[in-house]
Chains A and B, each alone.
Chain A
């Protein structure tokens, strides 16, 4: 096990920069998830850590040691690939034992390491099968088994669940998290799925366009997003964003472009006159008589909660309510917004002000 550090890491393909100066510190035993939309550079960053891509500038340290010049095999890391990358001509047992075989480990030693790993992952009865004879979830487990057998300093996961169906993904999510709790190996995990990031990570690194937007614990990112990008990326359904300005006479009132007044908690004086974006999470509103009038556009009951898309002034607002609502499309309901849980962003810089 070891800590991992990225210090001002940069990467360009030709003249095209893809990683534009990234600093991340990952403590020993931490489960860190790099999340961001496709093309944000998260997979490239992971491959640079693995040694599969070279580093244009900056330093990557594993356990305090700079690994920029080390070959992948000298870094003592194990990686689970998106397509699993199982050796098709080897059985499950041989796939898992491959790294040990290369080292020339004795047969008894190999068995001693492969057996418990197979047991942890429930692969014991599949050891003689070939990858082609396995289901997607089983292949995923073999890929993880291959990493576990290595007992490496760091585990890397490159979108490991994106080839699985939704139900299996949820199950494997829990399995990977449990595995990390058992092994306590430093883990860096790449995904584009913010739910995966929220549910599994100790720490989330939100990336966008080759830079780190924010680093923090899942709920920290949810509660205190640094900017518009993080606010819109984390949370499902996404945060409502409404354009407008503060009331010049009252910093507790936000006026949308269509003239609707929305409540704000203690906006700074400096925000006066700026073009702003009002951020409101769908779960931070309730239906109340005498509230802000909202016309129901779509209503989606899911059983445990009700999602509604409403028109407030001219803006569409999504709300999630924990009660059952019998409103019909076209009906006007009253919306009560909790001022304490609203956000204000500078429309120009994207920075959060409140």
Chain B
């Protein structure tokens, strides 16, 4: 009986030993557990990105596999004035919209951080523009900016400030300002709520200490709030810049890049050339051309703003 028991115990132990050796090696176990995530990333991130980059080096069109043509697409884009206009539009759009979103978002966050009546209600309301599907809010803006039925034009005309309706989306500069305004409206909640979360991590006693030290409201903001908020600002604004730089839906619904390509962003131009235009290779090349800009903004945020010595603690 005793012998039997010991035998039944040893044989599965022997079988398990190979698995046991692996289980004992932390590296092997770690790699094993990473497998599902790795497969997921490979299928849904690396493959599409790789395919996009590859297409940029081919002359593929819809319905025809392209052949490798090296940098020909990029050479063509280098001499393409519409492409360069889209690049400058994208930079302008991102820059202005991000600055506005930052200023207005921070302002809103500071207000919501005060002891207001109905504070939670306002905080919930603030999120609405962000929650509404982009296409829906874009459609609303389309009406607001309508050449004939715009409520803005109507109100200003009723007030007697203008004589005829404003051509919001028909004039290149008006159109640029209009799409930026729509993007800012949509992007503020993300900035405001994230910064509000950041503001709430600043201990109240620091503000109290500063006000005892003689700081005015502005000085408290300048010397306490802003420096302590910087790491969060860096993260939030990096995301905001990335979202804005790659914006597509708003433009596509509002102007489709018009009038005369005046509001084309790199993302909309890439789609325009690649899908309705059929030139997959060229469209992909435009999309790939966005990558350096995005990497630059991430690196700037990472090295310039996020790593602060005082956050690290430990040794200097």
Interface residues of A (CB under 8 A from B): 50-52, 71-73, 77-79, 81, 83, 85, 87-90, 98-99, 102-103, 128-133, 146, 150
Spot the interface stretch: B4-12, B200-208, B270-278. Answer: B200-208
Quick check: B208 and A133 within 8 Å, CB to CB?
A: no
B213 touches A71 (CB 8 A): no
A-B contact pairs, 24 of them (CB 8 A): A50-B208, A50-B212, A52-B211, A72-B211, A73-B213, A73-B215, A78-B212, A81-B205, A81-B209, A83-B205, A85-B206, A85-B208, A87-B223, A88-B228, A89-B308, A89-B310, A90-B310, A99-B213, A99-B214, A102-B213, A130-B309, A130-B310, A130-B316, A132-B314
Q: A73-B215, A98-B223, A146-B213 are in contact. Are A85 and B310 (CB under 8 A)?
A: no
Most chain B CB within 10 A, of A79, A88, A129, is at A88
Question: Which residues of B26-82 are within 8 A (CB) of A?
Answer: none
Q: A50-B212, A98-B223, A102-B219 are in contact. Are A85 and B314 (CB under 8 A)?
A: no
Q: Looking at the assembled complex, report how far the CB atom of B220 sits from the nearest CB atom of chain A, in whole angstroms.
A: 10
Chain A residues with CB under 8 Å of B211's CB are 51-52, 71-73
With A102-B213, A129-B316, A132-B313 known as contacts, the answer to whether A81 contacts B208 (CB < 8 A) is: yes
Flag if A102 contacts B206 (CB, 8 Å). Answer: no
CB distance from A205 to the nearest CB of B (A): 22
CA of A132 to CA of B310, assembled, Å: 7
Contacts of B316 in A (CB 8 A): 128-130, 133
Pairwise interchain contact A98-B213, C-beta atoms closer than 8 A: yes
Minimal beta-carbon separation of B274 from chain A (angstroms) = 47
Smallest beta-carbon distance B308→chain A, Å: 7
Q: Hey, which chain A residues are within 8 Å of B312, CB to CB?
A: 132
Q: Which 7 A-B pairs have the closest CB atoms?
A: A132-B313, A85-B205, A99-B213, A85-B209, A73-B214, A130-B310, A89-B227
Complex-state Cα separation, A51 to B227, whole angstroms: 25
Cα-based distance from A142 to B251 in the complex (angstroms): 55
**Secondary structure type dominating chain B contacts:** helix
Bound Cα distance A52, B209 (Å):
10
Q: Is B127 engaged at the interface, CB distance under 8 Å to the other chain? A: no
Please state if A133 and B313 are interface contacts (CB–CB under 8 Å).
Answer: yes
B286-316 interface bits toward A, Cβ cutoff 8 Å, 1 = contact, 0 = none: 0000000000000000000000111111111
B residues sitting closer than 8 Å to A (CB atoms) are: 203, 205-206, 208-216, 219, 223-224, 227-228, 308-316
A88's partner among B215, B310, B315 (CB-CB below 8 A) is: B310
Q: Which residues of B contact A71 (CB under 8 A)?
A: 211
Contacts A89-B227, A99-B213 known; A72 to B208 CB distance under 8 Å? yes
Q: Which residues of the partner chain A approach B314 to less than 8 Å between Cβ atoms?
A: 132-133
**Closest residue of chain B to A77, judged by CB?**
B212
What residues of chain A lie closer than 8 Å to B315, measured between beta carbons?
133
A132 to B228, CA, bound (A): 14
Which residues does chain B contribute within 8 Å of A81, judged by CB atoms? Answer: 205, 208-209
CB distance from B125 to the nearest CB of A (A): 26
Instruction: State which of A50, A87, A103, A150 has its C-beta within 8 Å of the C-beta of B206.
Output: A87
Which residue of B is nearest A131, CB measured? B310
Identify B210's interface contact among A51, A83, A98, CB under 8 A.
Answer: A98
User: Known contacts A129-B316, A130-B313: does B209 contact A102 (CB below 8 Å)?
Assistant: no
Residues from chain A with Cβ under 8 Å of B213 in the complex: 73, 78, 98-99, 102, 146, 150
Contact, CB under 8 Å: B313 / A72: no
Give min CB distance, A149 to chain B, whole Å. Answer: 10
Residues of chain A lying within 8 A (CB to CB) of residue B308: 89
**Most chain B beta-carbon contacts within 10 A, residue among A83, A102, A103:** A102
For A103, list chain B residues within 8 Å (CB): 214
Residues in A whose Cβ lies below 8 Å from that of B203: 83, 85
* B residues in contact with A132, CB < 8 Å: 310-314
- C-alpha spacing A5/B203, complex, angstroms: 30
Q: Which of A52, A87, A128, A131 contacts B208 (CB 8 A)?
A: A52
